[in-house]
Structure 1
């Protein structure tokens, strides 16, 4: 009984648990386009991305349409482009951290496969 109650009152993990998930730093010209402005990607995973420096108008918990382009130097796989909706987790102090929401399964699979290849390289 106590284990059940302990589980119910534990603090949930943050929405963008980047510490728990492995992330990659791009090694080339990678950016996210928001409101026709490009921001460099600092870290990314199939769950979301972190961009810095960021000086746009998005705020925490806001949904936004973005376009992400990942391009590594001399990459035989070519660039990966993902258009979709994100939920902003952090937008402060020059940092934007957001996670993908509502992506179709084929886009999730493409990101996961690209991520696995980059992780193994």
Structure 2
């Protein structure tokens, strides 16, 4: 019984340490030359279709449009029935499509855009 408890404790500790390491790397990504680029705290980053690093502003959302272009907004985003990306106008705000297919957002909806993204530089 003692061996099982120790094994279970070790497995849980390994899972927790893995999650902590991944959380510390959130918002960082390697650019096409291999340099690590980090966005501001509470942001998400991804490579665009040209291999450039694109990040959201803190609390922002990011999605690819129908052409593969990364678009950003102040809050979370969803795609409507026409394929347009609509997002919350507030940082960390939510967006969801309701039963009738209408997008509903915290603080109102705004369209996602490339202008709302930031392009951090490698250090």
Could you state the TM-score of these two structures normalised by the residue count of structure 1? Answer: 0.27
Whose relative contact order is higher, 1 or 2, with alpha carbons under 8 Å and at least 6 apart? 1
Which has the larger Rg? Answer: 2
